[in-house]
Amino acid sequence: MAVADRTDPANDPVNDPATAGPVGPGGPAAGPPPAAVLRRDLAVRAAVAQGLIGTGEGGGGGDGPPLVCLLDVAGIRGAAAGLRAAFEEALPADGGVPAGAAGGPVLHAFAVKACPLVPVLRLLAAAGIGAEVASPGELALARAAGIPTDRIVLDSPAKTPAELREALALGIAVNADNPQELARLDALLAAGPTASPLGLRVNPQIGAGSIGALSTATATSKFGVALRDPGAREWVVRAYRERPWLTRLHTHSGSQGLPLALMTEGVREAYALAEEINGAVGRRQVDTLDIGGGLPVDFTSDGPGPTYAAYVSALRGAVPGLFAGRYGLVTEFGRSLLAKHGLVLTRVEYTKSAGGRSIAVTHAGVQLATRTVYAPAAWPLRVLAYDAKGAPRTGPRVAQDVAGPACFAGDLLAEDRPLPLLHPGDLLAVPDTGAYFFTAHYGYNSLPRPAVYGFTVAPGGDAVRFTPVRPAQPLAAIVAEAGGDAPDALL
């Protein structure tokens, strides 16, 4: 496995998840900094000392690039453990939950789109987490990570016959998105049996959160069968009655910007539908509920936002029968597992002023934080200032813009942000970027993908070990992707 070895958190405040607590945007609350903050500061200093981050001068002198991305291995492990513990504590003590999800009561399937890096998937697999995939590429990544096919779930609104055929041949769970896809499965199953658990995705149409583009359970969402449309619910019940092999029911109403009350309402609707289906067919045909993911993340502080324990508590209150032993469960969390454990680290290349506004120009912008650049109100990110050696920069705060390298005016990570006055050569760290940020590169200006490293901190905090997760993209690869092997193709 490409990520560094496990460290023992016993009696170690740097690696002990139990010490992690919320930190406000103005600094830590009363008491010692949480473990994740201690690890982050150690990693920044070590990245400088070990040459992972440099000035970009090159010349073979060991000076590193001015941009690098880091993943906190202990933080990822802690998030996976917290997810599993929250659900396990809610299950019946007698183990009476049916083995409806990959042979166990709960399959936690990580949404690969949130962080499509093979070493990360392998790390999560070692922590007991499977994979939820939504494309042939994501399936290939999950298989490259060694995730067993019975711990993979395929969701997508546009599966081709070839994708479905491959999933059925491998025994991968499939959630059909619509009646036409269900008819396509009918034809494929007529050609031969499969070990794949099969289900149908439904849209409970409960409404949108604060970010419309991410809300998946609106009245007009493109996902699933819209349950409140005329005749839709009756059609779903009939579809299950006619297909004894449909044994799962899927919904995904969670998303960033959605309150827990709406998330749990979506699950309650799916649970009620499963009960209705099983009552209509006279047996326990639906044995597993796939309740999706989408737990929101707090991007304004070092606190995680709603915890898995809080979500499970809300589910128990809203859907009392969910953990009663009648159904296996599948979850599909992504952002909440990885976001808080990623860090972009970049040098300040230049500082300037315009119209009385101080501007720091860096190498991190739209190529790594696409959502923030194009929708800053919905996706604000914190920016942390360090000096050239990686020590936190102090001093009076001055309103400054933090700009990226791309050639358009809106390439800003932060606008009018109070920060200690920045200087060329300083470092800026952008936390909470482990999901959907630097792992989902946007090739504007043909900017290359930066290197990604996982890091672990030795017990006691006396050493930081970095392990390559993804290499920096060479310029030759950019040329090749842009048709460099066929320059005369259009002449």
List, in order, residues 6 or more apart from 195 with CB less than 8 Å away.
150, 171
Strands (E), 207-313: 225-226, 246-250, 288-290
Asked if 211 contacts 165 with a C-beta cutoff of 8 angstroms, the reply is no
Asked if 412 contacts 346 with a C-beta cutoff of 8 angstroms, the reply is no
Task: Calculate the alpha carbon distances from 216 to 28, 174, 297, 299 in Å.
Answer: 35, 18, 17, 21
What radius of gyration do the chain's Cα atoms show?
24
d(CA 283, CA 458): 54
Asked if 318 contacts 270 with a C-beta cutoff of 8 angstroms, the reply is no
What's the longest Cα–Cα distance across the chain?
74
Catalytic, 69? Answer: no
407, 409, 489, 491: the catalytic one is: 407
Task: Give the CA angle between residues 273, 322, 213 to the nearest 5°.
Answer: 65
CA atoms within 13 A on the CB side of 390: 18
Q: Taking each helix axis as running N to C, give the angle between helix 308-318 and helix 260-281, from 0 to 180 degrees, rounded to the nearest 10.
A: 50
Taking alpha carbons only, the member of 212, 418, 308, 210 closest to residue 220 is 212
Residue 357, SS3?
A: strand
Structure token pair of residue 100: 């409806």
Taking alpha carbons only, the member of 156, 3, 11, 176 closest to residue 80 is 3
Residues labelled as active-site residues: 407
